[in-house]
Amino acid sequence: MAKTRLACLLTLLSTHCYFNVLAVVLRTSDESPWTNEFDKIELSCLIESISTTNPRIEWKKITNGGPSYVYFDRKVSGDLENRAVIREPATLLITNATRSDTAKYRCEVTAADDLKSFDEIVINLIVRVKPVVPKCSVPKSVPFGKSAELSCVEDEGFPKSQYQWFKNNEEIPDDPKTSLKFTNSSYTLNADTGTLKFIAVRKEDGGDYFCRAKNDAGFSQCPAQLMEVYDIDVLGIALGVLVVVIVLLCITVGICCAYKRGFFSSEKQTGNNYKVPAKGDGVDYVRTEDEGDFRHKSSFVI
Ligand SMILES: *[C@@H]1O[C@H](CO)[C@@H](O)[C@H](O)[C@H]1NC(C)=O
Ligand SMILES: *[C@@H]1O[C@H](CO)[C@@H](O)[C@H](O)[C@H]1NC(C)=O
């Protein structure tokens, strides 16, 4: 009984050792590395065990379109050509990462002389891109009590930007109720879309506003723009309307009177007569003078 057990144990140990010696085994120091755009980054592929002296090493980039070669036949190829090198034993070093390098990469090592002759590991690379200056829109002036919407957009950043709004250089909290200063303000702030919406602006909401787009790679912001809140002057508007109505009324009355007195038809005649003054039509001249008098009178009445 004990003998068979020992035998079993020995067999297990030996097979384990055997595979350990004659198997290619890969390891990585970082499965999901990240870097900022235009920096270097190492995709680590370490050979933990191998007996083949000259293994075949390949790297593939795996995107939605399927895998494509990055390193094949001892050469870096594809769009990483001139931007990457292999560092012993099988690590891929990207010297100047771009945003299009964000992908999964597979390190594959084939060791012909090993019993387990193949191993692979997948590395998930993220290249972060700093946001560019966002496009900000702030209404110049908003009537008191009306709604207002401020927007901020930026599309370059990766991962996708989050947005912060600042008023007079002070960050606006996501929820106005959490701040003594903003507690009476009626806004809602969406950090994902960059929209700052006021349901009804107060005098205190006026000020210099700017927005900041940020992600893990950094941030960018737009210059501050002034939003003014003005009172709608009800009395002023009423007065203005009254003046306009009076003026319109006067004009209408004036035109009516002119029609009744045949002003327009006689003007046509005088117009004709002015073109032929050489004929010296005395009667018409008199009429014209009448006309002038009439005009005087009517404007005087108004
Ligand atoms: C990296 O690439 C960008 C764009 O291709 C280039 O402007 C930049 O100078 C490069 N940086 C280095 C360190 O080579
Ligand atoms: C908010 O409104 C309340 C009630 O109208 C007022 O007492 C308080 O002073 C206001 N707070 C601020 C910061 O304006």
pLDDT digits (tens, 9 = 90+) for 186-198: 999 999 999 999 9
How far away, in angstroms, is 196 Cα from ligand 2 center?
21
How far away, in angstroms, is 183 Cα from ligand 2 center?
8
Would the CB of 38 count as within 6 Å of ligand 1?
A: yes
Q: At what angle do helices 234-260 and 282-301 cross, to 10 degrees?
A: 150
Half-sphere exposure of 89 (CA within 13 A, CB side): 21
Q: Of the residues 35, 38, 40, 82, which should be mutated to test ligand 1's pocket, given the most ligand atoms within 8 Å of the CB?
A: 38
CATH 2.60.40.10 fits 21-128, yes or no: yes
Q: Which ligand 1 atom minimizes the distance to the CA of 96?
A: 1
pLDDT for the residue numbered 21: 63
Q: Which ligand is nearest to the CA of 94?
A: 1
Rg of the chain over all Cα atoms, to the nearest angstrom: 42
SS3 state of residue 5 = helix
Just give the CATH number of 135-230.
Answer: 2.60.40.10
Check whether 23 has a pLDDT greater than 70.
Answer: yes
Check whether 53 has a pLDDT greater than 90.
Answer: no
Task: Please tell me the distance from the alpha carbon of residue 299 to that of residue 251, in angstroms, as a whole number.
Answer: 10
Same fold for the pair 21-128 and 135-230:
yes
Q: Which ligand 2 atom minimizes the distance to the CA of 182?
A: 13
Q: Measuring from atom 7 of ligand 1, which residue has the nearest CA?
A: 38
Tokens of 229: 């809140």
Q: Measuring from atom 8 of ligand 1, which residue has the nearest CA?
A: 38
**The model scores a pTM over 0.85:** no
Where do the structural domains in the chain lie, given as residue ranges? 21-128, 135-230
Q: What is the pLDDT of residues 170-181, one digit of tens each?
A: 999 999 999 999
Q: Which ligand 2 atom minimizes the distance to the CA of 184?
A: 1
Q: Measuring from atom 3 of ligand 1, which residue has the nearest CA?
A: 38
Structure-derived torsion over alpha carbons of residues 41, 43, 49, 53, reported in degrees to the nearest 10: -80
pLDDT for the residue numbered 257: 79
